[in-house]
Structure 1
Amino acid sequence: MEPSASSLHNVGLIYYETENYEKASLAFEEQALEMEDDLAARYIAYAKVQEKIGNTKKVINALEKAVELEPIPQTLKILAEAYDNAGQAELAEELRKKATKMLTPTASSQKTADAPRPRQQRKIHQPRKIVM
């Protein structure tokens, strides 16, 4: 039976937790990501492994892919932290601003949220006849 991408991902996490980072890297990069490369969480986990190994370039590449797949504030903040660690403070700040903007409602959306909504008219249905 062929292992699935999720089982290989879990193996990678176990290797990560037991501080066997080289094997964790192989489980993610050469196996799980090759089989299924459309999950941001998998790229984030792989980036954490690469961070422990000291592969800054691979950390950033993996996190950029995670952001591409799932551009949510949490993922943006993780990438911003990696940029900071790599000495790319401007890029990090840009991403933090973008993440904050995503979390903060704009003035126009706030106005529409506070505005009273018009009442919709309900259509009145005649009761059905009951046949006995």
Structure 2
Amino acid sequence: MTAQGGITEGVIDGRESAQGADGAQVISNHEQMADIVQVDVLKTQPDGDNLHITLGLKNTSATQLRLINLTQTGALLAIDADGYANPLLPGLQNPDEITVPANAGVRQVFIFAGPMDSGVSVRLWGQDYPVH
């Protein structure tokens, strides 16, 4: 493990163990959200050289959830029909964290770099979600 990797892991561990001031449970990987967050790819829309994808995130728990580190390399990818991945567009267009209220859902648009053909799915923390 590199020093940079250890620092990053320490920051993530610290964020996960500390609830937010609002009492939100912090989630940073698929295992933590497996039974309490439903993910749906609601819409895909090309925009020039990029692709906008609207995700639906539904919290089935009675606790507010905060999904963090979404802009980390490989955390959130668009996958085309041929299995090629496109990363999130770098910059401030995409949120690094999303708060999902208890027993409710949110819709969030993400912008992925590069054009893509049909057959898109989204990979969030290693789990693929097809377009509905």
TM over 0.5: no
TM norm structure 1: 0.22
Higher strand proportion (structure 1 or 2): 2
Higher helix proportion (structure 1 or 2): 1
TM norm structure 2: 0.22
